[in-house]
Structure 1
Amino acid sequence: MKPSDKKILIIGAGVIGSIYAVNLSNAGYSVTMLARSRRLTELEEKGLTFYNNKTQSLDRTHVEIINKLYDNDIYDYVFVTVRYEQIEDTLLGIKNNCSLNVVTMVNNPFGYDKWGEIVGKEKIIPAFPGAGGKIENGVLYYKLTSRIIQPTTFGELSGEKSTRITELYKILKSAGFPVSICNNMDSWQKSHLAMVIPMANAIYFDGGNNYSTAKNLQAIRNMSLSLKENFNFLKSVGVIITPTKLSIFRVCPTCFLSFLLKFIYKTKFAETLISNHANNAKYEMELLSNDFEELAKEKCISLKYLYPRVHEFT
């Protein structure tokens, strides 16, 4: 397979979409980005500009920029990299497109039935990115996460290792992404939300960023308690915690977990992969928190620490 033989469309030109566009384009794939509004103008004027961590200088990669997708525009893979509140409208906008593989790189607490009803369940490849960063003055600054921390993860709804999943694995790996195939993406995404919601809420509780949160002992303790509660909830309703290493949040003593989180929040890693997104996607995280709470209520479980307040812990 020659990279140039594969056509890839990325819907959503924010941080995540731009990261995947840069690496895939630099690996030789034919990449098109569907962009809107200010980001569309920015890309048309400046191109996809990024900070090259290897050369420590600004660089630019070639991608085609479009603002409309036609039904007969065929791509081998369509990556949807929008926010949670945008996903259904985005899928409605492409439901008649004839491309067969739609990679949804979006948080999801409720499963994929509704998305499948819109574009066809057979098209959906649930996925989640392993990267983070920011866009400043039209320049993308980013970092990929290691395979140990969080690789780009995806899989079939059925859990089978299909031909297209194997091909997608090779494509992403050849573009430099740490990758992992998961046979239960529904459990993976629920587990991921159980983790990231408290991590974002701790920053909102503090009112600052990861560095100030690291100094806020109440915010750190709130986060630890919420993490333990969320993962205990998932286990109690039969959700397989995926990957299994996330079980550490359930079994780890609160005092040690708080110590570990305090250390992590002092790092550039936390700034790039936690704080930047949390502070730029507050509405998305609020919706996800609400829906995760709704998921618990459906099982008659109340999550006491999902929205912690200081008086609850004093």
Structure 2
Amino acid sequence: MRILVYGAGVLGSYLAHVLVRGGNHVTVLARGQRFHELQNDGNVIRHYLQLRTTVDNVHVIGELQPEDVYDLIFVVMKYPDFQAVLPALAANHSKHVIIVGNNASPHEMREYLLAESPVKKQIAFAFQVSAGWRETGRMICVRGPKGQMTIGGLGEDLSWRSVIDQAFSNTSYKLTYIKDMYEWLISHIVMILPLNSIASSYHGDLLQAAGDKKLLHHVIDAVDEGHQVLEKLGYTVTPASQKQFARKNRKMFYLGLRILLATPVGRILLSEKAVSANEMFALNQAFHHLKQSANIPTPNWDILENYSPLQNNNR
């Protein structure tokens, strides 16, 4: 298949690696230094947990032209950056588009693309389970034994699922399809925003944060409050196990947080190096609007916004 990966950060680079190894003809859209890295040295990825480095040759472009038609386009970038690429994406004549990453406004994105495109587009939204950071000349990718992506429409089944399956048919990559990706995405936001407040509370010292019982309980309570916001607005927390974990398995949640913050990999995943402050700010602004609409108390979210270890009296 002829596939474009629009975005050459950690997640886009890893997705391109998977698709190339699956036998697809992969083009990556990149700019600046990353464009030259890919053009001169290939797609270099250090797989952190697997202790190996891969290099894949990919075709590289700097702009998407309307007449550049692909069987499938994956748009992989941070939430605040999506808006800037929508005009070029709409003008392009490719019919199948998957927008991958944290996203608080998929309905608006889909409406824009459908309204502005000269061809009828099929649009899905997805989230890839991986993390990492950029180093000069390569990407550091932290992931499980094989790639995973949750993917779906906005309340409808994907009639063109076979196109996506074909792209991954020769890979070990796991696809999980769900019907309403918006509910999944906002449920994910409810989880990651409190978790990522831990690093800012201790200026990145996650090992010290692991010993702050009060902070960790505020995080768990904030996650539960976030679920209550979604429920008040009529959304279903997805997956359902996420709500049960925060509401009924608090001890396990707490122990899991302690373990996560005490291990090197866990500290990497929540570190400022692997987390975009700009993206977290934008997602927090979006969730703030949901909280206002729900109009219910969220005291633990309020506490986490200005949490200081000096206020700590372990509970």
Which structure 2 residues correspond to residues 149-298 of structure 1 after superposition, within 5 A? 151-162=148-159, 164-172=160-168, 174-208=170-204, 210-252=206-248, 254-275=250-271, 279=275, 281-298=276-293
Q: How many residues of Structure 1 are paired with residues of Structure 2 in the alignment? A: 304
- Matched residues in 2 for 1:157 and 1:55: separation? 35
State, as a whole percentage, how many aligned pairs show the same letter: 23
| Deviating more after overlay: 250-259 vs 35-44 | 250-259
Indicate the residue corresponding to 2:124 in structure 1: 125
Q: Say which SS state the counterpart of residue 95 (structure 1) adopts.
A: helix
**Cα distance, 1:205 vs. partner?**
1.5
User: Are 2:2 and 1:7 equivalent residues in the alignment?
Assistant: yes
- Matched residues in 2 for 1:172 and 1:273: separation? 26
Match of 1:60 among 45, 55, 63: 55
CA contact (8 A) 2:8 2:30 kept: yes
The one-letter code sitting in structure 2 at the alignment partner of 1:296 is K
Q: Say which SS state the counterpart of residue 265 (structure 1) adopts.
A: helix
- Matched residues in 2 for 1:249 and 1:55: separation? 29
Indicate the residue corresponding to 2:118 in structure 1: none
- Matched residues in 2 for 1:274 and 1:176: separation? 26
Q: Which runs of 5+ in 1 are unaligned?
A: 1-5
TM-score normalized by structure 2? 0.87
Change (3 A) 1:53 1:41: same
What per-residue deviation string (whole Å, max 9, x for no partner) do you get for residues 159-207 of structure 1? 2142x22331353363322220011111111111111111111211221
- Matched residues in 1 for 2:62 and 2:178: separation? 32
User: Are 2:136 and 1:137 equivalent residues in the alignment?
Assistant: yes
**Cα distance, 1:209 vs. partner?**
5.0
Q: Say which SS state the counterpart of residue 127 (structure 1) adopts.
A: strand
**Cα distance, 1:141 vs. partner?**
2.3
Q: Say which SS state the counterpart of residue 120 (structure 1) adopts.
A: helix
CA contact (8 A) 2:4 2:26 kept: yes
CA contact (8 A) 1:210 1:270 kept: no
Indicate the residue corresponding to 1:3 in structure 2: none
User: Are 2:50 and 1:51 equivalent residues in the alignment?
Assistant: no
CA contact (8 A) 2:224 2:243 kept: no
| Deviating more after overlay: 78-87 vs 258-267 | 258-267
- Matched residues in 1 for 2:142 and 2:4: separation? 21
RMSD after superposition: 2.6
**Cα distance, 1:54 vs. partner?**
9.3
Q: Which runs of 5+ in 2 are unaligned?
A: 116-120
| Deviating more after overlay: 206-215 vs 88-97 | 206-215
| Deviating more after overlay: 40-49 vs 82-91 | 40-49
**Cα distance, 1:89 vs. partner?**
1.0
- Matched residues in 2 for 1:44 and 1:231: separation? 45
